[in-house]
Amino acid sequence: MSIEVGSIVEGVVTGITNFGAFIELPGGQTGLVHISEVADSYVRDVKDYLKDKDRVKVKVIAVDKGKIGLSIKQAKPIVAHSTSERKSNPERRGYHQPARKPENFEDRLTKFMKESDERQQDIRRSTDNKRGGKGSKKSYKTSV
């Protein structure tokens, strides 16, 4: 079976790496879905979205010197919404967030100062370790 750019095919996940997933296509060919083409949202770990032997629909986005580039997010159909529906339903756009207690300025400032102090302590510890402890020179005993 010939794989053409723009075609949508179904394949099976054969391997997962930190940069994407390998998909076995019909005809025994294998292509790669890059991590940026797995989902519409940010993907930190491909394993959160895919696992071995999953059947997925993919779109062929590139064929170059025997390498096949695939996309899962481009294989999904584009759903058009009317403008009135978008305005009336903000949850569909991903703007819905759980209700949080509003923080006042003093609470936010206190939280920032605490986090800032912790970061500075971590930086001091790492630089002190590199210098050999608190920036002081080591003294060596010499025998006479």
Does the residue 118 lie in any domain? no
Mean pLDDT value across the chain: 81
Does the residue 27 lie in any domain? yes
Q: How far apart are CA 112 and CA 1, in angstroms?
A: 58
Task: Say whether pLDDT at 33 is over 90.
Answer: yes
Does the residue 59 lie in any domain? yes
Write the CA distances from 129 to 93, 107, 120, 123, 138, integer angstroms.
48, 33, 14, 10, 12
pTM of the model: 0.53
Does the residue 22 lie in any domain? yes
Task: Say whether pLDDT at 97 is over 80.
Answer: no
Domain with 44, as residue range(s), is 8-75
Does the residue 83 lie in any domain? no
User: If you ran DSSP here, which 8-state letter would residue 133 be given?
Assistant: S
Does the residue 126 lie in any domain? no
Does the residue 94 lie in any domain? no
Helix (H) or strand (E) holding 64: strand 55-64
Does the residue 24 lie in any domain? yes
> How far is it between the farthest Cα atoms of the chain?
91
Number of structural domains (the chain) is 1
Q: What is the pLDDT of residue 143?
A: 64
Q: CATH no. for residue 46?
A: 2.40.50.140
Q: Tokens at residue 18, please?
A: 């930190």
Residue 18 sits at the vertex; the CA angle it makes with 49 and 56, to the nearest 5 degrees, is 35
Helix/strand/coil percent split, the chain, to 5: 30, 25, 45
Model confidence over 59-93: pLDDT tens digits? 999 998 889 999 999 988 776 655 555 555 555 55
Q: How far apart are CA 24 and CA 107, in angstroms?
A: 53
17 vs 3, residue with greater confidence: 17
